[in-house]
Chains A and B, each alone.
Chain A
Amino acid sequence: MTRPPGGYAGKALIVDVTGPDATTLPLDEAVLRAYLGGVGLGAWLLHRLAEPRADPCSAQAPLVFVFSPLVGTPLTTSAKFAVVAKSPLTGMLNDALASSQFAISGKLTGHDAIVLTGRAAIPSVLLVDGGGARLVAAGDTWGRPAAETEEVLKRRLGRGWRIAAIGPAGERGVRYATISHDGRHAGRGGLGAVLGAKNIKAVAVRAATKIGPADPDGVLAAARDLRARSFGPATAKYRELGTLANLLAFNAISTLPTRNFTGATFVDAPKLAAEELHELRSATRSGCASCSIGCEHIYRGRNGQTARVEYENVFALGPMCGVSDPDDVLAASARCDELGLDTISAGGTIAWAMECAERGLLDAPWLRFGDGAALLRALGEIGSGEGLGALLAQGSRRAAAVVGGGSEEFAPHVKGMEMPGYEPRTLQGMALGLAVNARGADHNRSGAYEADLSGDYDRLAGGDAQVTAAVATEDRAAVMDSMILCKFLRGVFDEPYREWAELLRVVTGWDIDAAELRATARRIVLAKRMFNLREGWVPADDWLPGRLLSEPVRLGSGRDATLTPARLREMIDGYYAIRGLDHDGRPDGRALEDLMLMEGAPL
């Protein structure tokens, strides 16, 4: 094999943990250039390595840790990795990002990706370093929170090991269990359950080699420039209050989903606001490795317990469940961390269950909106599998199918993934983004809300501008999640594709330009859709919950906002047209040739 491009190892490690047996998969430069890394390369690997329609928690289903060309460079926010697998929550392609030293050490094992297949005979930890791949017994870490597991393994394994682990939820197969590293979660879609199904408690990596960029001086100059720009107004929100700054703002603009999407404002929002918590409970601020933003805001709860707080976990465990006591919300957030639960899916599923209980569809009189103790009890049951836990561990879509009684209409999900804290009826561009995204209801793979919040368009009416924004932000996410750069940086780029191409040029040595990168974005988005098609996607999957299309939501002004099925359909048709898809959301054969997925394509 020829020397790989700068920033790449040029190969993936495939570990069948049943043995374990490890093989090396050379990665052709054409594939790397076409998919970059992160979620893009992960999607391609999943296409090539996953058996179609396999159960995501079956032994043969692969789970991929993917790094990127930028990892390990001094470029700010580049220390990120993607975890990619078929989701047990959605049954479709799922990619989730996490950050920090695991990304750097994982890549410096000498691989652009580490793929796990098979199932270990006993609960185990997979170790990967210069000596290859091997298993050790998970021993006393089984049943422990991910953070504790990391600590135990660090002490046991010694210096240099970086660990990504699952909590009890992943071990028990909760369909929205996370994989965690250093307190940050590859959170959405239940990847922790996929790892747990392989009897793997953790993956530990240790750097063994060097992977340099093509133009070290160019990278250094770019890193200095990007770092300086990262201190500007475009990232002020993340530095000063973190994403929780959204809470009061979203409440003020009637886009804070409340009590399972029965409202868009929350009267007690000020109690949970970043401004309030920052003043009274701020413990410290932190950031990922190689990051100059430092967006993490850690707050102290009632018992001195600390929790990393983001908008999404406060939304999902607070207003979505009607809970207004900050101590309850911080405790619930910490509990999700301990168990290894995606807070958005946990909060969404519990909010759905609260509504079911209040309507008499679930025999759980203790479970009521606004009851923080009930929220904590429900989380505990999800973690233990007791009481309602087994039902709620399935996520709101599957649970609603069991409970019935019309609860399917208000199960807050798209493709099975619970909805983030963006009210689609008052952010109608985002309504489209949530409906069509390959991962399901997700705010990190589509940023269509940016058009809604720009002030340039009518956020209550949807339309062509929002369709264009949905496509553009999805493309942008595809590139940033594949290079990988944190999307909190997105506002610092004036000409993003040109500037990203320049970053890739100095790292890889490729003569790459904005046009090529735009094509790359479209390819990655299409590859995800193609994977879903292969796994059984149908047009009805690109849709929103019935409640959002049949019930208006009251704005702070007193007006009602309505999203009609016809308007959503119109936007989806517009999206399909721009993407070159037919009326049913399917691509034509010519588009597929570009994906390098056909027989005989480079492997």
Chain B
Amino acid sequence: MGHGTAGVVLAGGRSSRMGQPKAELEWHGSTLLRRTLGVLARSVDGPLLVVRAAGQPLPQLPAQVEIVEDPEQGLGPLQGIAAGLAALAGRAQAAFVCSTDLPFLHPAFVRRVLSALTDEFDVVLPVARGYPQPLAAAYRVTLAPLITDLIAAGDRRPAFLFRHEHCRTLRIDDAALLEDPVLAAADPALESVVNVNSPADYRAARCQPAPQVTVQRYGALAGNGHRGPQTVRAATLSAAATAVGLTLDRHVIAALNGDQISRDGDVPLTTGDTVAFLSADAGG
């Protein structure tokens, strides 16, 4: 077995109500697909997959993202989930599977859901904001054959999986989700599961401000009165850099929450993030 957790984004689907591919929709300087993948990248320790329809064009994605083609279209989300889980066989134990249209998805939500997937369960299904959220849920990778069998039998709705005798499903509601203090602080309204299905949803999402993040410049970048933390609104690293008068380049890198270092301006930011900008020549 490889890593423990993986991320799967379902980018196929007709987007019929939206009238245009959701994956390419822009939100505060990034596409929804790029943003969703970036959030998952911060939340899992294994592969990142995008499941798309055969030949479906996608916006530019980070190099480490794998693309899996859904062999059959029009079979519903279970088909995409099965394709993603099958592609992870032997490489991860579980995956957080979500749709591409979740602009407010927070890493704390992803981690909370994945952490609930103990040995006793095969699926962790959030029942958040009043609805089951099969496309913001955690699945054991070994479910792929069962899902394939269900689809073959014509049981294409996720509900068939969750009530199947060989699928142990844990449903967690808002209160249970928010028992996690990190999630409760970062996303108390559980907006992580708010999706955009229609142009009206999309317009409403775009009216929401970019996440509030804390930014600090270090070392040679902290001269001329730039010491100390600043609070800014920014949905990407490049937006955060711009907000404090910097550009990510050969000489400037960013560290997110004391974790990974990047000069990729498209890395998404979420509420409560802390960004450290430092000289790329840090070291002796």
Q: A residues engaging B (CB < 8 A)?
A: 233-234, 236-237, 240-241, 243, 245-246, 248-250, 252-254, 265, 274-275, 310-312, 420, 422, 443-444, 447, 449-450, 452-456, 458-460, 487, 491, 555-559
Does B259 contact A557, Cβ atoms closer than 8 Å? yes
Q: For the complex, is B253 an interface residue (Cβ under 8 Å from A)?
A: yes
- In the complex, how many angstroms separate the beta carbon of B164 from the nearest chain A beta carbon? 34
Asked if B283 and A246 sit within 8 Å, CB to CB, the answer is: yes
Interface string of B206-224 (1 = CB under 8 A from A): 0000000000101110110
Quick check: is B60 within 8 A (CB to CB) of the other chain?
no
Q: What residues of chain A lie closer than 8 Å to B279, measured between beta carbons?
A: 236-237, 245, 249
Is B284 part of the contact surface with A, judged by Cβ < 8 Å?
Answer: yes
Do A312 and B284 touch (CB < 8 A)? Answer: yes
Name the one of B182, B261, B264, B274 contacting A453, with C-beta atoms under 8 angstroms. Answer: B261
Query: A459: which B residues are within 8 A, CB to CB?
Result: 260-261
Per the bound structure, the CA–CA distance linking A237 and B284 in Å amounts to 10
Query: What are 14 A-B contacts defined by CB distance under 8 Å?
Result: A237-B219, A237-B282, A241-B220, A246-B282, A249-B219, A252-B255, A252-B258, A265-B258, A275-B222, A275-B227, A447-B283, A449-B283, A455-B262, A458-B260
Determine if B120 is an interface residue (Cβ-Cβ < 8 Å): no
CB <8 Å contact, A555 and B259: yes
Given contacts A455-B254, A455-B263, A456-B263, whether A311 and B280 have CB atoms under 8 Å apart is: no
**Interface check B257, CB cutoff 8 A:** yes
User: Nearest CB to that of A253 among chain B residues?
Assistant: B255
Within the assembled complex, what's the spacing in Å between the Cα atoms of A456 and B216?
Answer: 21
Choose from A240, A265, A310 the contact partner of B220 (Cβ within 8 Å).
Answer: A240
CB distance from A520 to the nearest CB of B (A): 23
Complex CA gap A311/B281 in Å reads 14
Inter-chain pairs besides A453-B261, A454-B263, 8 sampled, C-beta below 8 Å: A249-B278, A249-B279, A249-B282, A420-B284, A455-B264, A459-B260, A558-B182, A559-B259
> Is A252 a contact partner of B222 (Cβ separation < 8 A)?
no
Q: Per-residue 0/1 for B244-284: is the Cβ within 8 Å of any A Cβ (1 yes, 0 no)? A: 00000001011111111111100000000010101111111
Closest Cβ of chain A to B213, distance in Å, is 14
Chain B residues close to A by CB (< 8 Å): 182, 216, 218-220, 222-223, 227, 251, 253-264, 274, 276, 278-284
Rounded to whole Å, the gap between the CB of B234 and the closest CB of chain A is: 17
The interface residues of chain B lying within 8 Å CB-to-CB of A274 are 219
**Interchain residue pairs A-B with the least CB separation, the first 4:** A556-B258, A245-B219, A252-B276, A557-B259
A247 to chain B, nearest CB (A): 9
CB-CB under 8 A for A253 and B276, given A555-B258, A557-B259: yes
Give chain A nearest CB distance to B46 CB in angstroms: 11
Chain A residues with CB under 8 A of B251: 233-234
B276 and A249: CB pair below 8 A? yes
Nearest chain A CB to B118 CB, angstrom units:
19
Nearest-CB distance from A188 to chain B (Å)? Answer: 12
Q: Which residue of A lies closest to B42 (CB)?
A: A557
B262 touches A246 (CB 8 A): no
Q: Which residues of B contact A454 (CB under 8 A)?
A: 253, 261, 263, 280
**Contact between A252 and B259 (Cβ–Cβ < 8 Å)?**
no
Q: Which residue of B lies closest to A250 (CB)?
A: B282
A450 to B281, CA, bound (A): 7
C-alpha spacing A237/B279, complex, angstroms: 8
A30 CA to B284 CA, complexed, in Å = 33
User: How far in angstroms is the closest Cβ of chain A from B229?
Assistant: 10
- Smallest CB-CB separation from B251: which chain A residue? A233
In whole angstroms, what is the CA distance A147 to B53 when docked?
Answer: 74
Bound-complex Cα distance A377 to B36 (A): 55
Contact A246 B284 (CB under 8 A): yes
Minimal Cβ-Cβ distance residue in A for B278: A249
Q: CB-CB < 8 A to B280: which residues of A? A: 453-455
A252 touches B218 (CB 8 A): yes
Query: Are B260 and A237 within 8 A (Cβ)?
Result: no
How far is it, in angstroms, between the C-alpha of A549 and the C-alpha of B156 when the chains are bound? 47
Closest to A459 in B: B261
- Note all chain B residues with C-beta closer than 8 A to A420: 284
Of all chain A residues, the one with the shortest Cβ separation from B253 is: A455
Using CB atoms, name the residue of chain A closest to B275.
A252
- Point out the residues of chain A lying under 8 angstroms from B274, CB to CB: 556
A248, B219: Cβ atoms closer than 8 Å: yes
| Contacts A233-B251, A234-B281, A311-B284; A452 near B218 (Cβ below 8 A) | no
A265 to B255, CA, bound (A): 14
Chain B nearest CB, measured from A480 CB (Å): 13
Chain B residue contacts of A487, Cβ below 8 A: 284
Complex: A491 Cα to B260 Cα, angstroms: 23
* Cross-chain contact B220 with A236 (CB below 8 angstroms): yes
Q: Are B284 and A243 in contact (CB under 8 A)?
A: yes
Which of A233, A420, A422, A459: most chain B CB closer than 10 A? A233
Contact B257 A557 (CB under 8 A): yes
B261 touches A443 (CB 8 A): no
Cβ–Cβ < 8 Å partners of B259 in chain A = 254, 460, 555-557, 559
Q: Are B255 and A491 in contact (CB under 8 A)?
A: no
Distance of A277 from chain B, by nearest CB (Å):
13
Find out whether the CB atom of A240 lies under 8 angstroms from the CB atom of B223: yes
**A557 close to B219 (CB less than 8 A):** no
Q: How far is the CA of A487 from the CA of B276 in the complex (A)?
A: 25
The residue on A at minimum CB distance from B263 is A455
Selected from A265, A453, A460, A556, the residue in CB contact (under 8 A) with B283 is A453
Query: In the complex the two chains form, is A241's CB within 8 Å of B219's CB?
Result: yes
- Are A245 and B220 interface neighbours, CB within 8 A? yes
Name the residue among B216, B278, B279, B282 with the largest chain A CB count within 10 angstroms: B282
A140 and B276 alpha carbons, distance in the complex (Å): 52
A285 to chain B, nearest CB (A): 14
Residue of A233, A248, A455, A558 near B261 (CB, 8 A) is A455
Distance in Å: Cβ of A239 to nearest Cβ of chain B: 8
Selected contact of B258 from candidates A253, A275, A453, A456, CB within 8 Å: A253
Nearest Cβ in chain B — how far from A80, in angstroms?
15
Q: Which residues of A sit under 8 angstroms from B276, Cβ to Cβ?
A: 249, 252-253
For A243, list chain B residues within 8 Å (CB): 284
Known: A265-B258, A556-B257. A444 touches B284 (CB 8 A): yes
Shortest Cβ gap from B58 to chain A (Å): 23
**Alpha-carbon distance between A254 and B284 when the two chains are bound, in angstroms:** 16
Please name all residues of chain B whose beta carbon is closer than 8 Å to the beta carbon of A312 when the two chains form the complex: 284
A50 to chain B, nearest CB (A): 29
Interface centre among B260, B262, B276 (most CB of A within 10 A): B260
